[in-house]
Amino acid sequence: MKSRAPELEFELVPLKTRGDKLLDVSLAGFGGKGAFVTEFHKALFDGAIDIAVHSAKDVPWQLPDGLDLWASLERGDARDVLLVKKGQDPDKMKVVGTASPRRELQIRELFPVQCRLLRGNVPTRIEKLKKDDYDGILLAAAGLERLGLTRDEELDYRYFTVDEMIPAPGQGIIVVEGRKEDPLRELFEEICDRKSFMELEVERFLLRRLRAGCHEPTGVFSRIAGKKIVIWLLTESGGRVRRGKLEGPVSERFSLAERLIDETQSCGR
């Protein structure tokens, strides 16, 4: 960004959120996804910062009036990964660590396991696995890649396909948030990856239509290839797991998303 606007000075302002501090309870127990962005929103309104950079899956579907998502970077690997100790047979796992209802629902469909709360940063979670607190843990592939933690001689990695485990909306995407009327917006829009941003838009549209938060096991993922888009959806209602997948033109992505909701709500597994 500095190369595009050499006249601007940039300062990194680190912020710690409630989600970073409260590690012994689930997100649903202290405010949901907003726990990772509330402090950033306050800083934007106060003028302490001009932009906020988030993992898109941490941003609730409803933003405060006056704020907007400006741009996104190219999407990383959106898949979920099961980590086990080297030689561990996943079919013999008993306890898997995760803080995500979405991951819990889907891993229990694949393996006969119990799930136990797992919070903390990625290296901390991996250390808990190595100390035998869990038989396996579930993490996002993009997070492992960005931290350079995709290889470990003590661990085996199983990457799930998006059909096996539908990702969280926005998973793998880094997004820039700022004030709606800020002229800086134009600068960041220049570096926006349009493909990932369109995928994020339709995934957040589905979240908004479902009014889903972190309490529900909701999976939403989309993939654009050329002029086509494929959208996956996972929801649970009344104890029934509902999955859907549709493909169509990118230009019709929002009407396709509406149809996907209608189809998944009218049938169940």
The tens digit of pLDDT for each residue in 119-150 reads 899 999 999 999 999 999 999 999 999 999 99
Contact 116, 134 (CB under 8 A): yes
Instruction: State percent of the chain over pLDDT 70.
Output: 90
| 13-22, 52-61, 115-124, range with the lowest pLDDT | 13-22
- Decide if 80 is catalytic: no
Mean pLDDT of 227-249: 93
Residues ≥6 apart with Cβ < 8 Å to 7: none
The confidence score (pLDDT) of residue 5 equals: 73
Could you tell me the sign of the dihedral formed by the alpha carbons of 129, 133, 134, 135, in that order?
positive
The confidence score (pLDDT) of residue 48 equals: 94
Residues of the chain with CATH 3.30.160.40: 18-76+169-265
Mean pLDDT of 168-190: 95
The confidence score (pLDDT) of residue 268 equals: 47
Amino acid at 133: D
Residues ≥6 apart with Cβ < 8 Å to 86: 153, 154, 155, 156
Mean pLDDT of 191-201: 97
Q: Is the pTM of this model over 0.75?
A: yes
Residue with tokens 């797991």: 241
Question: What mean pLDDT, rounded, does the chain reach?
Answer: 90
Strand locations in the chain, DSSP E? 51-55, 67-72, 80-85, 95-97, 114-116, 136-140, 155-159, 174-179, 219-225, 228-237, 240-249
pLDDT of 88 higher than 70: yes
The confidence score (pLDDT) of residue 79 equals: 98
Contact 81, 147 (CB under 8 A): no
Residues of the chain with CATH 3.40.190.10: 80-159
Among 3.90.1150.180, 3.40.50.1000, 3.40.190.10, 3.30.10.20, name the CATH number for the domain at 80-159. 3.40.190.10
pLDDT of 211 higher than 80: yes
Closest CA to 173 of 84, 258, 55: 55
Distance from C-alpha of 145 to C-alpha of 218, rounded to nearest angstrom: 24
The confidence score (pLDDT) of residue 113 equals: 97
- Choose the catalytic residue: 20, 24, 58, 163: 58
Highest mean predicted confidence (pLDDT) among 17-21, 47-51, 211-215: 47-51
The confidence score (pLDDT) of residue 254 equals: 98
pLDDT of 240 higher than 70: yes
Distance from C-alpha of 6 to C-alpha of 82, rounded to nearest angstrom: 43
pLDDT of 28 higher than 90: no
| Topology annotation, domain 18-76+169-265 | Double Stranded RNA Binding Domain (3.30.160)
Mean pLDDT of 72-85: 98
Task: Provide the 3-class DSSP secondary structure of residue 71.
Answer: strand
pLDDT level of residue 266 (50, 70, 90 thresholds) = confident
Mean pLDDT of 205-210: 94
Residues ≥6 apart with Cβ < 8 Å to 177: 37, 40, 44, 51, 52, 53, 54, 59, 63, 67, 68, 69, 70
pLDDT level of residue 27 (50, 70, 90 thresholds) = low
